Amino acid sequence: MTSSSRTRFNVDEFVTLNRRKLLRGIGASALLTATGGWFTRELWAQPVFSEHPFSLGVASGDPAPDGFVLWTKIAPKPLERGGGMPNKAVEVAWAVATDEAMTNIVQHGKAIAAPALGHSVHVEIAGLEPARDYFYRFTVGGQQSRVGRTRTFPRAGAAVAQMKFAVAGCQRYEAGYFNAYRKLAEERFDFVFHYGDYIYEYATLRPDAMTAWPIVRLMPGESGECVTLEHYRQRYAIYQLNEELQAAHASAPFIMSFDDHEVVNDWAGEDTLKNTPRAQFLLRRAAAFQAWYEHLPLRRAQMPKGPNIQAYRRLMAGDLLALNVLDTRQYRTGIVCGARVMAGCEPALEPNRTMLGEAQERWLYESFKSPAARWTLLAQQIPLMRQDRDADPNILSLSMDKWDGAVAARERLFGAVEQSKLANLVVVDGDVHENCAGELKKNFDDEKSATLGVDFTATSISSGGDGFDISKRRRALMQQDPHIKFYNNQRGYVRHVVTPKQWRADYQVLDKVSVREATMRTRRSFVVESGAARLNDA
Ligand SMILES: [Fe+2]
């Protein structure tokens, strides 16, 4: 056995053993003995930190009826290579309680933060009660993390009166403060779906950089575009030092997906548009996925295997909501016509184009046949509804990076919805830095054709800057796409309140992200009645 494969094996075994330990109550010393002593040599037994080791906060994610995953990362000097940690593993204690004061602890244990995973900690908790709040905290070297609040999902099949969640994403650091996250944190959602663009991989901007939006703040240090694991790690650290983002993570479990900027702008499958050799791009993708995993509350099932990752998954919230997290990046066919907005791009119409890939399509369409919940949610990255981007009524201009760039893929999806007679399909996404709400038409050129579901596009947290309500051009574009009922170009998030009878979406927008003090208001609210795929004003 080579030393590197032995290392990988042991790290994985540690995680597994740790889970068993918490279930069976094996002590930490037994755990170390069980791994043949490899870690005893590498373990930093009595860590002492001069700086706060939980500088990047705490988070929870992927709720189940009996648990969730807890996350933190030991980084006393988060912007330094290695986060200010020695090349040794360290033991981190965790506790879960039913109260915020952490007096009624219901589970506790220890986890290993290993250098191979950037001293991140992922603890999968099981055995808790469904549909209730829990609180958690980590301890290392005598120092405690903040207390995070999280929540379990309802039991599968159980009658659920209501689920309340937020959809957010696209948080370019330089474009604005994360004011939306402060507001989001106050709502203590059942969960938050993050559609991606959690970081942007671009080189750090200089103060005199030319941008389409005013630069609100600069990232510390200077670096080129993220390419290696260390680059991506440093970028996540810069973002996660934001107190607003930390408050959001500590307020509710996040269900994470990634879009393009977690790797590189507009990547598609194995295609980067920049003629990078395939092998090099896959190495970069592996580094990007590892950093994504290290910094977020993801289950072990989402640990990357080199350049590949299992990011699509289904979470069931009782009998109310089947939440399908989709991956529209990893398996899609390559970008055609340059990824930009295009009129008359013939290759976009080719029947073999895909957004999800064959296996994910099958997995999704199979679930449509016998839905186990009232509402079927596609929680994904890019707008599904057609959007003409040319005001000339004779020119249909489409964005090749969205579902519009793979028309056949959308038609197959719609075909599966129709064939299964799937009612109550709701799609959420983002990526375009605009609020948008629309109806999914079987034929977007025919207003009278069947409506198969609704599409709620969430604006960005900060990308695009302060923004504005709506431009004249957008108003004109809406005339050509009557299935689109709402546009807004401000920052914020979308609040969804789901009951058996009705789905409600509130578009929460901020007046500003260029200053830290901001006012949030509900710009528009829609409701969808169960059984009637139509957007109504609330
Ligand atoms: Fe974005």
> In this predicted model, what pLDDT tens digit does every residue of 432-482 receive, in sequence order?
999 999 999 999 999 999 999 999 999 999 999 999 999 999 999 998 899
Residue 14: predicted pLDDT: 43
Residue 447 C-alpha to ligand 1 middle, in angstroms? Answer: 30
In the reported structure, the alpha carbon of residue 321 is separated from the centroid of ligand 1 by a whole-number distance in angstroms of 27
Dist. CA 168 → ligand 1 center (Å): 11
* pLDDT of amino acid 342: 75
Residue 99 C-alpha to ligand 1 middle, in angstroms?
36
Distance, CA of 180 to CA of 145 (rounded, Å): 23
Q: How confident is the model at residue 74 (pLDDT cuts 50, 70, 90)?
A: very high
- Ligand 1 center to 293 CA (angstroms): 19
333 near 262, Cβ under 8 Å?
no
The CA 262 to ligand 1 mean position distance, Å, reads 10
What pLDDT sits at residue 209? 92
- Please return the burial class of 438, using the count of CB atoms within 10 Å of its CB with bins 0-12, 13-18 and 19+: buried
Report how far ligand 1's centroid is from the alpha carbon of 401 (Å): 12
Instruction: Please name each of the domains of the chain with its CATH number.
Output: 3-151 (2.60.40.380), 170-537 (3.60.21.70)
| Pairing assessment for the beta strands 492-498 and 502-510 based on DSSP bridges | antiparallel
For the residues 188-216, what does the mean pLDDT come to? 96
Task: Quote the distance between the C-alpha of residue 105 and its chain's center.
Answer: 29
Mean pLDDT of 197-201: 98
Q: How far apart are CA 199 and CA 243, in angstroms?
A: 15
- Model pLDDT, residue 98: 98
pLDDT digits (tens, 9 = 90+) for 33-56: 444 444 556 899 899 999 999 999
Task: Say how many Å lie between the CA of residue 317 and the centre of ligand 1.
Answer: 28
Q: Which residues surround ligand 1, an ion (CB under 5 A)?
A: 170, 197, 463
- Round the average pLDDT of the chain to a whole number and report it: 92
The label of the residue with tokens 């994403």 reads 169
Q: CA of 265: how far to CAs of 145, 228, 320, 384, 462, in Å?
A: 34, 15, 35, 19, 17
Alpha helix stretches (DSSP H) within 143-302: 179-187, 229-240, 243-251, 278-295
Q: Which two tokens stand for residue 120?
A: 């991140």
> What residues contact 517, with CB distance under 8 A and at least 6 apart?
none
Distance (angstroms) between ligand 1 centre and the Cα of 373 equals 31
Binning pLDDT at 50, 70 and 90, where does residue 3 land? very low
Which of 294, 245, 317, 288 has its CA nearest to residue 113? 294
Tell whether pTM > 0.85: yes
For the record, the structure tokens of 56 come out as 């990047």
431 CA → ligand 1 middle, Å? 5
Dist. CA 492 → ligand 1 center (Å): 13
Compute the distance between CA of residue 61 and CA of residue 54 in angstroms, rounded to an integer: 18
pLDDT tens digit string along 311-337?
999 999 999 999 999 999 999 998 888
Which region among 196-200, 202-206, 229-233, 398-402 has the lowest average model confidence (pLDDT)? 398-402
195 alpha carbon – ligand 1 mean position (Å): 10
Dump pLDDT digits (tens) for 252-298: 999 999 999 999 999 999 887 777 899 999 999 999 999 999 999 99
Residue 149 gets the label, from left (phi > 0), alpha (psi -120 to 50) or beta, of: beta
CA 491 – ligand 1 centroid, Å: 12
Q: Ligand 1 centroid to 261 CA: how many Å?
A: 7
Q: How far is the CA of 208 from the centre of ligand 1 (A)?
A: 22
pLDDT tens track for 379-397: 999 999 999 988 888 888 8
